[in-house]
Amino acid sequence: MCQLLGMNSNTPTDICFSFTGFQARGGLTDHHQDGWGIAFFEERGVRLFLEAQATVNSPVAELVRNYPIHSLNVISHIRKATLGRIALENTHPFQRELWGRYWIFAHNGNLRDFKPPLDGSFTPVGDTDSEFAFCWLLQQLRNRFGREAPGDQALFDALRTLAGEIGAFGEFNFLLCDGMTLYAHCASRLAYLIRMTPFGHAHLSDQDLTVDFREHTHPNDRVAVIATVPLTDNEAWIALPRGTLHAFRDGAPMHYAEVETGAECEPGSSLDEKQCE
């Protein structure tokens, strides 16, 4: 299984501590050696670092671990290739632009036989089930809402429906971000915690490293960290219920809803009837 890591905060925050533990799973404490990537939103821009190799011994991972990039939204992924060969174009997270915003997407799980028609507005570059699902999801958003981004609630509701439709084809844990909101869909395994005042010590599960957040934070800071498996062993991680979609903003949960997998095939969906029923 691949591994996901997300961060959403109310003040630009670096992810060096969490990434230090996370990247150890790319060949050191776990066997996800088939590529990794991390995307940092900085205002409307994105920095996306990708490598089609293990994180251990990667000079780019070394840079990301030691160079504090301050961001409100981060998505990272470590890959264990299952569908799609080991190649840069198959490495998560994936990036596209919609409504004048960059969108970042990373997926954990396998989708089988998910091949609805694509209309050419977003086309996969690689051959993973994940990038295909991302392209279809953005296509459906554009078809539903046209040229302008909808409001928060309408967007959340659409993502909930689409997550359910795609989720009918397999395990569909994902992190998705448009630079403002970080969406987390838990099909089988995701956990999160909120770090806020009073800050304390945190100790990594994957490396013997402790940080005292009191030395690095202001009282108003608030950070949500979401991961496939908890990154620290002395903090109160909360397992997201299976079959739920969550929206995080400003370091806190904003929306939450159950996802009905495969039940909703809305008018305008390009999933054909056979696939939906």
Within 213-272, the residues that bind a copy of itself by CB under 8 A are none
Question: Is residue 12 classed as helix, strand or coil in its secondary structure?
Answer: strand
Closer residue to a copy of itself (CB): 97 or 233: 97
Total length of the chain? 277
Q: Which of 12, 29, 83, 126 binds a copy of itself (CB under 8 A)?
A: 126
Q: Which residue lies nearer to a copy of itself by CB, 56 or 191? A: 56
Closer Cβ to a copy of itself, 38 or 259, answer by number? 38
Considering the complex, what minimum distance in angstroms separates the CB of residue 244 from a copy of itself?
Answer: 30
> What 3-state class would DSSP assign to 50?
strand
Q: How many residues bind a copy of itself (CB under 8 A)?
A: 40
As given in the structure block, the two tokens for residue 213 are 């957040």
| Longest CA pairwise span in the chain (Å) | 57
CA distance 76 to 55: 12
With CB under 8 A as the contact rule, the residue among 82, 121, 197, 210 that binds a copy of itself is 121
Within residues 58-97, the interface with a copy of itself by CB under 8 A covers 59-60, 63, 66-67, 87-91, 95-97
Q: Which of 2, 135, 177, 186 is catalytic?
A: 2
DSSP state of 1: -
Nearer to a copy of itself, 122 or 169 (CB): 122
Helix (H) or strand (E) holding 156: helix 152-167
Q: Count the Cβ atoms, other than its own, within 10 Å of residue 111.
A: 20
42 binds a copy of itself (CB under 8 A): yes
Q: Is 147 in the site for a copy of itself (CB under 8 A)?
A: yes
Tell me phi and psi for residue 133, to 5 degrees.
-60, -40
Q: Judge whether 2 counts as a catalytic residue.
A: yes
Instruction: Please report whether residue 21 would count as binding a copy of itself according to CB under 8 A.
Output: no
Q: Closer to a copy of itself at the Cβ: 4 or 135?
A: 135
Smallest distance, a copy of itself to C-beta of residue 50, A: 6
Q: Which two tokens stand for residue 28?
A: 């050191």
Token couple for 261? 């997998």
- Decide if residue 43 touches a copy of itself (CB under 8 A): yes
Report whether the peptide linkage leading into residue 198 is cis, meaning its omega lies within 30 degrees of zero: yes
| Of 52 and 194, CB closest to a copy of itself | 52
Place of tokens 């230090």: 20
Measure CA 149 to chain center: 20
Alpha-carbon torsion, ordered 240, 235, 205, 5, to 10 deg:
40
**One of 11, 28, 30, 49 touching a copy of itself (CB under 8 A):** 49
DSSP state of 93: S
Chain centre to alpha carbon of residue 141: 18
Q: How far is the CB of 59 from a copy of itself (least distance, A)?
A: 5
Part in contact with a copy of itself (CB under 8 A); list of ranges 13-21, 99-107, 157-165, 166-174: 99-107
Q: Which residues are catalytic?
A: 2
Binding site for a copy of itself (CB under 8 A): 42-52, 59-60, 63, 66-67, 87-91, 95-102, 119-126, 142, 146-147
